[in-house]
Amino acid sequence: MRKTVRTALAAAALTAGLIATTAPAAAATAQGTPYLPGVLRPSVSQSAQDAALAKYYDYWKKNFLTTKCGAGTYAVKAPDADHAFVAEGQGYGMTIAAMMAGKDSQARTVFDGILKFVKAHPSVIDKDLHAAEQDENCKSVNGSDAATDGDLEIAYGLLLADKVWGSGGSVNYKAEALRIIKAIKRSEVNPDTKFMRLADWADSGKYINSSRSSDWMPGHLRAFEKATGDSFWGQVRTRQEKAVTQLQQQYAPKTGLIPDFVVNTNSTPKPAPDGFLEDHDPHYGYNACRDPWRLGVDGITVSGSPAQGQVRKMNTWIQQNTGGNPAKITSGYTLSGSKLPGETGQHPCFTASFAIAAMNDPGSQAWLDKLWTSITAWSPNAKDYYGTGITVQVLIILSGNYVAV
């Protein structure tokens, strides 16, 4: 069992205000995968979008990458987590590096260095998965077992690497991806319920029929099915898509929000109780803040994706809740839309993620532009790996540089 601390670093520089431009929305592609017709983009030039991405990417590289863990090794530091290095951070790093392949000549070196770190720290439960936490001395700690969110992202990053660089070099990215995907199926998916487990250790007791909503990434599962030819991944995706709809209808009909953790996955999924694992388990907190992004990117790239309608519900509510002012987005909500007690100020994982939901709604151009201004006005914090890493990935999508596998 693990608990990652989400430090709610208030970003006072996250200011609102409509971009002062009358330019039409940018074309639906930049360097990446074409988006569906009707998908919104920020109303600024492509060069301005790319410049914003470059600014945050460079900051991320400078402040959160380290070579201290060995020759030829890179690792993503996580000063706002329980330990110095966490699995999701390495996964984010691999995905970011592969997405930036066309813009950064060092991207492949960074990617290969993070992969080397990942392979040097296998889970003690399943050696083909990554031990989820390492300390300042680069030693695996806290059980040396895996976490599903990290493994999903690492596998997806490898499929991206295969797409952008091919697998004919010193690393066979495709083979590495298939090895990890097989292990995820073996150790991190409940074979009966078809839901992602929390980790390779979560196979008994109250955890066996539980799941983390931010692990429900339809695009990743589509990529796994395509890469393996295994229809199992389509079954997992469909089961989780249905669960999102059911949770929205039953527990969040006004907001569309879904909780950090879900239990009862063996029958009718429902929000986890308070104290299940982390701080705001039944609410929309520092895990679920990623849901509009993770679901929303499927909505802008896959025709007929259920995610499009799901995130539109979230988008409609957050606009109404804030009166169209991104500065009023706060760090967490109950599923009914009330602010969580003790959570004040903004955090990028909430504000940035809602921008991907807005891209799915043709009537939200002005709102998306306000979100763009808010996100790009934020001054990154060197102690907030989580918010910075998510912001970089959101800017990759907003700027049209997203690559779908």
Catalytic residue annotation: 88, 149
For 173, counting Cβ atoms within 10 Å of its Cβ (0-12 exposed, 13-18 middle, 19+ buried), the class is buried
Residue 81 is which amino acid?
A
Position 243: which residue type? A
Beta bridge partner(s), residue 339: 333
15: Cβ contacts below 8 Å, ≥ 6 apart: 327, 373, 374, 377
CA angle 43, 393, 159 (to 5 degrees): 125
State how far the Cα of 183 lies from the Cα of 180, in Å rounded to an integer: 5
| Cβ-contact 185, 126 below 8 angstroms | no
Nearest to 123 by CA among 201, 204, 211: 201
